[in-house]
Structure 1
């Protein structure tokens, strides 16, 4: 801050030095003016200037030091008390800008909240005709048409569900209920929801749950598992999807393994990025790929303190592992 003050006052320092040099030059060339006396006065003036400069530096930089130390939040700033006219101008400007940005932030938050409510309302309204369509599909006698239409219905249903949770995700901490969640009904419930798709592709499931309960939020855990299973079914052609749960070192591990196309080594670090749909030409041309499922699953898992990890051998298999936290690690979420 001292360096900045010196740079700010360079013109004044330059003017003082020029004045002193001019006086000494006049005393030097004019024999009627005693040079030693003028030199003595210049030395006293320089000393007085240095004292004055030090006092003003301490006094004037105090305001800007406190201004610089303010945080970046838009809360009402505790501004230092301005003393000079320029400090009053700066303080008034900071206060007015902060008030303006705070008002704009409030307006944007209200608009975002309204948009979220409108979209959630729309999704819930769409679910009514979707339910009616599902009942109508059950009455179809043409099995081939029924199978194809049910598959398309499921795709729409999953996209709507994904969009619903996408809008809820920013407020997930207000929607959590941590409990001892039973894995078996969650796993089999998600498998049943995908059964028409699995029948169409000839995919089965091998489920082996050694650990039966985890501390988590049932609704959001179902959503995370739904994204992993949807991803596994989407990129598998035939065969089985293996689901395992074990307990290691006081933690529960839930694994989902498919033997489909796998994920290339260059794509593996990026699969949880928003909108990423793979650089592989076959994957990239998938019309149903939005690049949101794994991203949303990772975001929800992070809030639940679940570690999500992917391992893959390209064109052979892919394994997603959910590692659940220990009970004492959930204090931030449960308040325990």
Structure 2
């Protein structure tokens, strides 16, 4: 800030120094003027001017220092009160702009909330004909046709479900119920939902759950498992998906391992990024890059750590590590 202040006042400083040098020059060429006395006066003037600059720096930069430290939260109370007419002009403009941005922000927020409510309402309305469609598909006599239709129905159902939860994630803290949750019923429900797809691809499940409970929210854990199982089924063919659990350092972990095509090492650090699909299978139009991103986002809110291990052609393993009870209390009290 000192450098900026000196650059702002550079013309005044140059003018002052020029005048002092002019006085000394006149004394030097005019022998009737005592040069020593003028030199002493110039020296005192420089000291007074330096003290004046110091005082003005303290006063003039107080407003701009607070403006520079402003956190851009539309709250002007943290900015120092203006002490000069120019500072008052700047403050007035800031106040007017802040009020306008607050109005626009409130309007946009209302529009987003309305759009979200309309989308959630639409999703719920679409679920009714989807349920009826499922019942009609199940009554078909042609097994091959029924299997294909159930697969397409499942894709639509999963996309709608993902969209519904994506809109709920920003407010999921209002919907959490943390308790010791049985893992097996949640896994079985998610596997049964994918049954027709798994049968079509010849995929089975090998489930071993020595650690049967974990501290979490059952509904949102189901959403995470839905994304991981969907990925495992999508990229596997005629193989088993191994699901196992255990404990390590008093933490429960749950691992879902498939033996599909795997993930390229250079893609592994980015698989949880929003919209990232793959650099190897970049032409895969079925991939949206949202499933793992949303799973990580929900897991972070539940204080669940997700780790991924993979190698091309050897499959992929996702490990969920649940928090300990004391950890969860510490996280929620922060």
TM norm structure 1: 0.94
Determine if the alignment matches structure 1 residue 331 to structure 2 residue 325. Answer: no
* Bigger Cα displacement from structure 2, 131-140 vs 170-179: 170-179
Report matched runs for 1:1-336 at 5 Å. 1-281=1-281, 284-331=282-329
How far residue 334 of structure 1 moved from its aligned partner, in angstroms, is: 5.4
CA RMSD, Structure 1 to Structure 2 (Å): 1.8
CA distance in 1, matches of 2:271, 2:325: 29
Ranges of 4+ aligned residues in structure 1 off by more than 4 Å: 332-336
Relative distance call for 1:286 and 1:242 in structure 2 (3 A) is: same
Relative distance call for 1:247 and 1:178 in structure 2 (3 A) is: same
Cα pair 1:178 1:215 within 8 Å, conserved = yes
- 5+ residue gaps, structure 1, are none
**Secondary structure class of the residue paired with 1:275:** coil
**Secondary structure class of the residue paired with 1:77:** helix
How far residue 102 of structure 1 moved from its aligned partner, in angstroms, is: 2.5
TM norm structure 2: 0.94
CA distance in 1, matches of 2:108, 2:44: 61
How far residue 11 of structure 1 moved from its aligned partner, in angstroms, is: 0.5
* Bigger Cα displacement from structure 2, 189-198 vs 25-34: 25-34
Relative distance call for 1:48 and 1:279 in structure 2 (3 A) is: closer
How far residue 62 of structure 1 moved from its aligned partner, in angstroms, is: 2.2
* Bigger Cα displacement from structure 2, 65-74 vs 4-13: 65-74
Count of equivalent residues: 334
Cα pair 1:77 1:95 within 8 Å, conserved = no
Cα pair 1:206 1:241 within 8 Å, conserved = yes
Relative distance call for 1:332 and 1:107 in structure 2 (3 A) is: farther
CA distance in 2, matches of 1:99, 1:212: 55
Cα pair 2:66 2:78 within 8 Å, conserved = no
